[in-house]
A and B are shown apart, each in its own frame.
Chain A
Amino acid sequence: MIPASFDYVRPASLGEAVQVLTDAGEDAKVLSGGQSLLPLLRLRLAYPSVLVDVGRLEELRGIRDEDHHVYIGATTTHDEVVRSPVVNAECPLVALATATVADPAVRHRGTLGGSLAHADPAGDLPAVAVALDMEFVIHSTSGERVVAARDFFLDYLETALELGDVLAGIRVPKLGEGWGFHYEKFHRTAQAWAIVGVAAAVRLSGQASGEGRRIEEARIGLTNMGPTPVRATQVESAVRGAGLNGGDAVREAAQNAAEDTSPPTDLHAAPDYRRHLARVLTHRALLSAAAAV
């Protein structure tokens, strides 16, 4: 299918971009890599009046190691994220989850900022964002503001981005030493969206490889368990102190994974099955993350 007509602006700076967006009003859309937007345009599920192409703005690109966090420019591609030594060293969960996004060709064009701003709860990265407490650096004509991940995702495909806003970059807090990570994605085919996904980060106490290792702290984000990504806080609390060797403490903690979720019904799963999967997969994700410490 073929998109409806729109105007196209390629601003030379972030300042110009926010001005153009502000002037253009609510029918304007930001174009980054276009990997979520173009299919919507082709199916005529979106009719923007103007696309503001920020894909070439150097100031939105790149990955920087900044003291307490890693800064990832919004138009950094998935492929660049997956390859980044900084990301793999400091926030590997982002790389692990990004490597499962779509396929190589899409990852060459698709961007981290684009995926997060699209805010599809079935996408793999929003769950990572809430698990890691990412911060969203947003520019508008009134300057820069920073929004926490928990405040960024408002509803299905709806974010804190307002008219005239451009997502400039994402700060990923460094968790420090001693963490292990895993993204558990459950889908029917490689191309299909996750029925449920679990992004997990785990810090352990006790001796390495010794008996009595326990989960000291965990961070868990759930994909496709509601209109927004879900932070599984009840599991995080319940799993604190859970021993890894013998016993079912982690499994029991993971039983809380479906609390406070409102999973959707679609072609591939009903809510009760998604709730069940969230429990099983959270258990597995925690163990895999622990094994990766």
Chain B
Amino acid sequence: MTRITVTVDGVTYQEEVEPRLLLVHLLRDRLGKTGTPIGCDTGNCGACTVMMDGVSVKSCSVLAVQADGEDVLTIEGLSAGGPWHPMQQAFHEEHALQCGYCTPGMIMAAIDLLKDDPDPSEDAIREGLEGNLCRCTGYCNIVRAVRRGAQSMSAQEVTAS
């Protein structure tokens, strides 16, 4: 067992973990962060995408021990209790989800890609989401949502500054 300290959605946890414990199982089974689902075992689907240390990672391909000392943000912490994040709102407005299983990871990946490119083209959005599979939407509305989310995030920034 290894002792780790990890902050998830603003709460700091100390946990004794087996080295082989996957971050996503720490989140789901130990910490009750079931908002982050698991869709595969090869790192392809991206459903489990969370932010770690400010960048997107696939939490099924990170060991909990590798997250020691890190700050993790899941879909549950994105708008905890408050108004929705603009990207959540955009996914709702553009009907960018159907079954919703890929959605937490997709939203995280979408927010991540805007950090480099706050006004992405359609191609840039599609490339930025390459690591996240959706089986329901055919991606059209996801692309539209990311564009809308990007616009409202820039608008928010303008308002804030």
* Chain A interface residues toward B at CB < 8 A: 1-8, 10, 31, 34-35, 38-39, 41-43, 51, 53, 55, 79, 102-106, 108-109, 190-191
Q: Is the CB of B20 within 8 A of A6?
A: yes
Closest CB-CB distance, A4 to chain B, in whole Å?
7
A-B contact pairs, 17 of them (CB 8 A): A2-B25, A5-B18, A5-B19, A5-B20, A6-B20, A8-B19, A31-B63, A34-B61, A38-B60, A103-B46, A103-B130, A105-B56, A105-B57, A105-B58, A105-B112, A105-B131, A108-B56
* CB within 8 Å for A106 and B61 given contacts A55-B66, A191-B44: yes
Determine whether the beta carbon of A39 is less than 8 Å from that of B61. Answer: yes
Q: Within the complex, what minimum Cβ distance (angstroms) separates B112 from chain A?
A: 6
A191 touches B65 (CB 8 A): no
Q: Is the interface of B mostly helix, strand, loop or mixed?
A: mixed
Mark contacts of B41-82 with chain A using CB atoms, 8 A cut-off: 1 yes-contact digit, 0 otherwise.
111101001000001111011110110000000000000000
Q: Given A109-B61, A109-B62, verify A104-B128 contact (CB < 8 Å).
A: yes
Q: Find out whether the CB atom of B43 lies under 8 angstroms from the CB atom of A106.
A: yes
Q: Quick one: closest A residue to B53, CB to CB?
A: A108
Contact B113 A104, beta carbon cutoff 8 Å:
yes
Q: In the assembled complex, which residues on chain A have CB atoms less than 8 Å from the CB atom of B102?
A: none
Q: How large is the interface on B (under 10, 10 to 19, 20 to 34, 35 or more residues)?
A: 20 to 34
Give chain B's interface residues, CB within 8 Å of chain A.
Answer: 2, 18-20, 22, 25, 41-44, 46, 49, 55-58, 60-63, 65-66, 109, 112-113, 127-128, 130-133
| B44 and A53 form a contact (CB under 8 A) | no
| Chain B: minimal CB distance from A54 (Å) | 11
B118 to chain A, nearest CB (A): 15
Shortest B66–chain A CB gap in Å is 7
- Once bound together, how far apart are the Cα atoms of A103 and B112, in whole Å? 12
How many angstroms from the CA of A4 to the CA of B20 in the assembled complex? 7
Which residues of chain B have C-beta atoms less than 8 A from A105's C-beta?
Answer: 46, 49, 55-58, 109, 112, 131
Q: Are B41 and A39 in contact (CB under 8 A)?
A: yes
Measured in the bound complex, the distance between the Cα atoms of B156 and A14 in whole Å is 45
Q: A3-B20, A39-B61 are in contact. Are A79 and B55 (CB under 8 A)?
A: yes
> Do residues B41 and A42 form an inter-chain contact, with CB atoms below 8 A?
yes
Report chain B residues within 8 Å CB of A8: 2, 19, 63, 65
Give the contacting residue for A38; candidates B56, B61, B127, B132; CB below 8 A.
B61
CA–CA, A31 to B65, complex, Å? 12
